[in-house]
Amino acid sequence: MKRTTLILSLGVFAATACTQRPAVEADYAVVPLPAEIELASGGEAFRLSPDTRIVAADSADAANAAFLAEYIGELTGFTPSVTAIAPADGYIRVATVGGGAPESYVISACADSMVVAGSDAAGTFYGIQTLRKAIPGDAAGHDVLFAAGTVTDSPRFGYRGTHLDCARHFFSADSVKRFIDILALHNINRLHWHLTDDQGWRIEIKSRPRLTEIGSMRSATVIGVNTGVYDSIPHGGFYTQEQIRDIVDYAAARHIEVIPEIDLPGHMRAALASYPELGCTGGPYDVWQIWGVSKDVLCAGNDSVYAFLDDVMAEVTDLFPSEYIHIGGDECPKDRWKDCPKCRARIRALGLRSDAASSAEEKLQSHIMGHVTDFLAERGRRVIGWDEMLQGGATDNAVIMSWRGADGAVAAARAGHDAIIVPYKYLYFDFAQSTEPGEPAGAHWSTPVLIDSVYAYEPMPDELTAEQQKHIIGVQANLWSEFIPTYSHMEYMALPRLAALSELQWSAAPKDYAAFGGRLRRLARHYDAAGYNYAAHTIPADTIQH
């Protein structure tokens, strides 16, 4: 209520006190909703105009300030200059001041100036995102009035992820950068980059050139849901190591860590097509042209497979400085291992026996995952794996990504593992976003994921104790690409559901779908300004009588 009154009075101010240029009013209630917005009633607003300067004292602040200048330029048409010394008034100071929770910030506004103060460089960046989103998306040609007051904010979860599958369909390096910009707009700080799968290998590995020479190209793709009819159009592409370094840097500048996924020991058919000796039968294999779960997986009894994984991971860790490396572990049928003399011998040599909890083959999978985990641990990295990792027993330090529901996260947290919440019913954005006729299709094996159910989802399992809940380190949405062949379609699947995701990840406020709708409608003007492709019809309409 207080806010509404103030905005009305600002309106009067805008009409009476403005100079020649018309002004629009900023609104701090953005997506995701900041923890505290306190307006100074009666305080005069700060006016952002072409005369405004951005002040940054050092080079780290200047990097953040450059983003703010660019965002203001995109929205208003004028790009403020960045200076080291503050003028008497009419400036926005951007400063990382230390203290406070990680990634937190305070914005304060008064008539003379604004300050965006972060606890760390990421916090300052999120303050800038809030300031940016507070500006109406259709502010072109206008000054902007920021109500006097304070915004104090920090995130609920430290790991705020989105996954992008570039293996089933390849998206260009420029598209991936555009996607990273979208993540930044939503305060998302991890890109889980799915780079390898049965249908394509997308990361250049210099010591194993056939992975991209052969494995990055499939000669045709099945039409629809494994209909038996093929399009006879070759599909392929991969990221060179140079492109990958560039993407990692681009993301890091936006405080996003790129976590690569090399999915193993299943989902490896593109690698098997490149190096058939890595499979139990020796092939031949093709880069898969259909969807689903392939029975052909890496042979876990073959020493050269372990050497292969070491070689791949050596280059992966060289390219990606991320704290985590995702090593998959999902959907690995054991059919081939059961019949393979090398796998049988390895099971015997390791003394693996089936018991009530897991089969000998599941334990063999834990063995190969453990090998990679140890290799990565020696290089200071932690692994993330899909919740199937729990089946044969996961290594202590592994983070479990719970996709088949929240049960995997609950089991993981109880066993002392960190976990990330990604249940497909709520957070798989490759499912359609509405039930309307004509809704662009996505994955088909579950029901559509509607934005209101995403928003309403509470990610923290309440069956965990407070101590166990500390193991739930974050929340993520996944965008698989079997049925999403173009980047533009992918962007549409992501938006606006990423807005609801970002509220789960960032905000601890009680749910209020109507209020979220208002914030989302304003955010959608930013989508328009940036030219993003999004499902506008899923945004709740404004039902309040004005």
Q: By CB under 6 A, is residue 443 in contact with ligand TNX?
A: yes
Q: By CB under 6 A, is residue 482 in contact with ligand TNX?
A: yes
* Distance of closest approach, residue 185 Cβ to ligand TNX, in angstroms: 25
- Give the 3-state secondary structure of residue 114: strand
Residues 6 or more apart whose Cβ sits within 8 Å of residue 158? 102, 103, 189, 473, 474
* Distance of closest approach, residue 297 Cβ to ligand TNX, in angstroms: 13
Contact 176, 247 (CB under 8 A): yes
Per DSSP (E only), the strands in 119-171 are: 143-146, 149-153, 159-165
Residue from 197, 257, 296, 362 carrying the catalytic annotation: 197
* Distance of closest approach, residue 544 Cβ to ligand TNX, in angstroms: 37
- Torsion angles phi and psi, residue 107, rounded to 5: -110, 130
Q: How far is CA 530 from the centre of its chain?
A: 19
Nearest CB to ligand TNX, comparing residues 149 and 260: 260
- Build a one-symbol-per-residue string for 301-330: x at contacts with ligand TNX by CB under 6 A, - elsewhere: -----------------------------x
Q: Which of 28, 78, 193, 403 binds ligand TNX (CB under 6 A)?
A: 403
Q: By CB under 6 A, is residue 428 in contact with ligand TNX?
A: yes
How many whole angstroms separate alpha carbon 158 and alpha carbon 156?
7
Nearest CB to ligand TNX, comparing residues 67 and 480: 480
Catalytic site includes residue 331: yes
Nearest CB to ligand TNX, comparing residues 192 and 381: 192
In whole angstroms, how far apart are CA 206 and each of 15, 209, 312, 318? Answer: 64, 6, 9, 12
Nearest CB to ligand TNX, comparing residues 163 and 471: 163
Q: By CB under 6 A, is residue 27 in contact with ligand TNX?
A: no
From the list 143, 135, 114, the residue with the least C-alpha distance to 49 is 143
Residues 241-270 close enough to bind ligand TNX by CB under 6 A: none
The H-assigned helical ranges of 327-477 are 335-339, 341-350, 360-378, 407-414, 424-427, 451-456, 466-469
Number of residues that bind ligand TNX (CB under 6 A): 9
How many whole angstroms separate alpha carbon 501 and alpha carbon 469?
19
Catalytic site includes residue 267: yes
* Distance of closest approach, residue 482 Cβ to ligand TNX, in angstroms: 6
Nearest CB to ligand TNX, comparing residues 272 and 340: 272
For the chain, give percent helix, strand, coil, nearest 5. 35, 20, 45
Q: By CB under 6 A, is residue 539 in contact with ligand TNX?
A: no
From the list 502, 497, 404, 409, the residue with the least C-alpha distance to 453 is 497
Residues 189-228 close enough to bind ligand TNX by CB under 6 A: none
Catalytic site includes residue 197: yes
The DSSP output letter for 481 is -
The H-assigned helical ranges of 142-172 are none
* Distance of closest approach, residue 169 Cβ to ligand TNX, in angstroms: 11
* Distance of closest approach, residue 3 Cβ to ligand TNX, in angstroms: 41
Nearest CB to ligand TNX, comparing residues 331 and 439: 331
Nearest CB to ligand TNX, comparing residues 54 and 420: 420
Q: Which of 146, 159, 308, 480 binds ligand TNX (CB under 6 A)?
A: 480
Query: What's the number of CA atoms in the CB half-sphere (13 Å) around residue 115?
Result: 14
How many whole angstroms separate alpha carbon 508 and alpha carbon 32?
10
Residue from 246, 323, 331, 407 carrying the catalytic annotation: 331
* Distance of closest approach, residue 264 Cβ to ligand TNX, in angstroms: 12
Q: Which of 386, 457, 527, 534 binds ligand TNX (CB under 6 A)?
A: 386
- Give the 3-state secondary structure of residue 324: strand
Active site residues: 197, 267, 331
Question: Which residues of the shown chain bind ligand TNX in the complex (CB under 6 A)?
Answer: 330-331, 386, 403, 428, 430, 443, 480, 482
